[in-house]
Amino acid sequence: MADEASTPPPPAYPTSACTCGALVIWTVTTSGKRMPVDSTPADDGNIKLTHRGTSLPPLAVVTTNPAQLFGVRHRYRSHFANCPHAASHRRGRR
C-alpha cells in the first residue's frame, strides 16, 4: 500500500466528467492524440503524466515497460481500459 505520509499529492490536473460519470483527465499522448485517463492515480498504471502548466493538457507517456516507470510516484491508467462507454468513444459496435 502507498505510504500516505511520504507521497506528495499528485498535481491538480483539471478533470472533466466522462459520459459514464467518471472523472477523467484529458491528456495528449506523445503522438499527439487526446486520451482520457482516470483522475485517480493507480499503483499499476502504465502512464506517466507531465504537467505543462494550466494552458496545456498534461503530456501522457504510455509505456508497456514497467521499468520505465520506476520511481514515478503517480501513475495513471487509460480511462478507456475500464470505461463502460469505451465502445461508443471508439465508435465501435458490439
Residues that bind Zn ion (CB under 5 A): 18, 20, 22, 83, 85
Which one, 16 or 63, has the nearer CB to Zn ion?
Answer: 16
Which one, 38 or 74, has the nearer CB to Zn ion?
Answer: 38
Minimum CB separation of residue 76 from Zn ion in Å reads: 14
Q: How many CB atoms within 10 Å of residue 86?
A: 16
CA end-to-end span of the chain, whole Å?
Answer: 37
- DSSP lists the bridge partners of residue 25 as 37
Which one, 42 or 69, has the nearer CB to Zn ion?
Answer: 42
